Structure 1
Amino acid sequence: MRIVHYGHACVLVDTGVTRLLIDPGAFSSGYEQEQDLDAVLITHQHHDHIDSEALPPLLEANPDARLVTDPGTRDTVDKLGLTAHTTYPGERLEIGDTSVQVTGGEHAIIHPDIPGIANVGYVIGGGAFYHPGDAFHVPSQRVDVLGLPTGAPWLKASEAVDFLRAVGPRVAVPIHEAVLAYPTMHYGLFTNLAPDGTEVRVLEHGRPTTV
């Protein structure tokens, strides 16, 4: 099995026969050139996991690829005019020579004031690789390689460590790290959830600012 990390949440899993691309989102790049994909798997609706502009041409270049999404992404793909299989936790998919077990169900809590959304994880090849999306769901199967979320508004390092320990993989591959370099996600969270009368202002690097 070969794994290619295209940044943030996007991972290509290649068994040598079957090629699965997971979460081609807005903070990832390089996956756009991939061909001979058997499936594109989406864990949830957030733009860093599904790039609405890049997905249609990707599927056009891979006409035999199945698009598989969580329930919350159904509206997104419908608006794009794409055909997709909506999957739910507990479902088992057979894609090429590879089984995909669908797990999870809910996105990790970002803040109690933000409504929750659906999120599914994908256990590939009976546990050969696990992509949890934006959640800490521990699957029942033994996991050999774990895609380990690293940075996000919904997690702190200690939670990622606890998740890593709970899954106990042979190898952990850090993913979901782009927000550490693209802090605008955090800035937007602060702005949206700040108390009344509070302004969130991002200071320009090296430039004096009157506050």
Structure 2
Amino acid sequence: MRIVHYGHSCVLVETETARVLIDPGAFSSGFEQLRELDAVMITHQHFDHIDAEKLPGLLQANPSARLITDPGTQELVSKLGLESETAYPGQSLQLGETPVHVVGGEHAVIHQDIPTVANVGYVFDNGAFYHPGDSFSVPQHRIDVLGLPTAAPWLKASEAVDFLRAVKPRIAVPIHEAVLVNPAMHYGLFTNLAPEGTEVRVLSKGEALEAQRV
């Protein structure tokens, strides 16, 4: 099996019988040029995992590719006019001769005031590769290569380490790392959840802000 990382959570998985792209999101790049895909798989509905602007063109350029999503992404892809299949936890899929087991079910908690959305992870070829999406779901399979979430509003470094230790893969490939150089997701979270009367203001380098005595 061959694995190619296109940034953040976007990963191309190539087996002897299938060529599969996972989570082509807004923080990823280069996947737009891929051809001869057998499937495009989405773990959940957040924009950094599914780029609604680029997905239709990607599927148009790969007419034989199956679009497979979690239950929570059905409405989005339907609005885009795309046909899709829904993957449910506990289900087993077949891509060529490659089995894919669907695990998980829910996105990790971002904040108690934000509703939890659906999230599924995909275990390829009985454990050769595991993409958890945005979750800490530990599969029953023994995992050879794990896509390890690195940084997110829902993630502490200690939690990533605990997840890594629980899965115990032979190799861990850091994914979901784009927020380390693009903090806009965190800024948006602070803005949306700030208490009434609080403004979140991002200062550019060297910019001054006047504070008042309270």
Could you say which TM-score interval applies, normalised by the shorter chain? over 0.9
Cα distance in 2 between the residues matched to 1:196 and 1:207: 25
Residue 18 of structure 1, CA deviation? 1.1
Which secondary structure state, in structure 2, belongs to the residue aligned with residue 76 of structure 1?
helix
Structure-2-length-normalised TM-score = 0.97
Q: Who is 1:124 aligned against? A: 124
**Residues 72-114 of structure 1, C-alpha deviations (whole Å, 9 max, x = no match):** 0000000000000011000000011211100000000000000
Question: For each residue in 1:49-87, what CA deviation from the matched residue of structure 2 results, as whole angstroms up to 9, or x when unmatched?
Answer: 000010001001110000000000000000000000011
Equivalent position amino acid for 2:89 in 1:
P
* Pairwise CA distance, 1:119: 0.2
Counterpart in the other structure of 2:107: 107
- Show the counterpart of 2:8: 8
CA distance in 2: counterparts of 1:90 and 1:208, whole angstroms: 53
Supply the AA of the counterpart residue of 2:96: G
Aligned match of 2:163: 163
The offset of 1:205, in angstroms, is 1.1
The CA distance in 2 between the partners of 1:67 and 1:96, in whole Å, is 14
Does the 8 A contact of 2:17 with 2:95 survive in 1? Answer: no
CA distance, structure 2, for counterparts of residue 42 and residue 62 of structure 1: 16
Q: Which whole-Å CA distance do the structure 2 matches of 1:54 and 1:147 have between them?
A: 23
Any residues of structure 2 matched to 1:1-211 within 5 Å, and which? 1-211=1-211
Q: Which amino acid aligns with 1:96?
A: G
Aligned identity (percent) is 72
The CA deviation string for residues 147-193 of structure 1, in whole angstroms up to 9 with x for no partner, is 00000000000000000000000000000000111101000111111
Shift of 1:2: 0.9
Q: Give, as a single letter, the amino acid of the residue that structure 2 aligns with 1:5.
A: H
AA aligned opposite 2:85 = H
Runs of 4+ in 1 over 3 A off after TM superposition: none
Q: CA deviation at 1:206?
A: 1.7
Q: How many residues align?
A: 211
Q: Secondary structure at the match of 1:122?
A: strand
| Counterpart AA for 1:178 | A
Report how far residue 199 of structure 1 moved.
1.1
Let me know the Cα RMSD of the aligned residues: 0.7
Matches of 1:100 and 1:66 in 2, distance apart? 13
State the Cα distance separating 1:118 from its structure 2 match: 0.2
Residue type at the aligned position of 1:70: D
Corresponding residue SS for 1:20: strand
Rounded to whole Å, the distance in 1 between the matches of 2:97 and 2:145 is 18
Runs of at least 5 residues in structure 1 that lack an aligned partner in the other structure: none
Deviation, structure 1 residue 16: 3.3
Give the distance between the partners of 2:183 and 2:101, measured in 1 at CA. Answer: 33
Aligned counterparts of 1:204 and 1:128: Cα–Cα separation in 2: 44
Amino acid at match of 2:45: Q
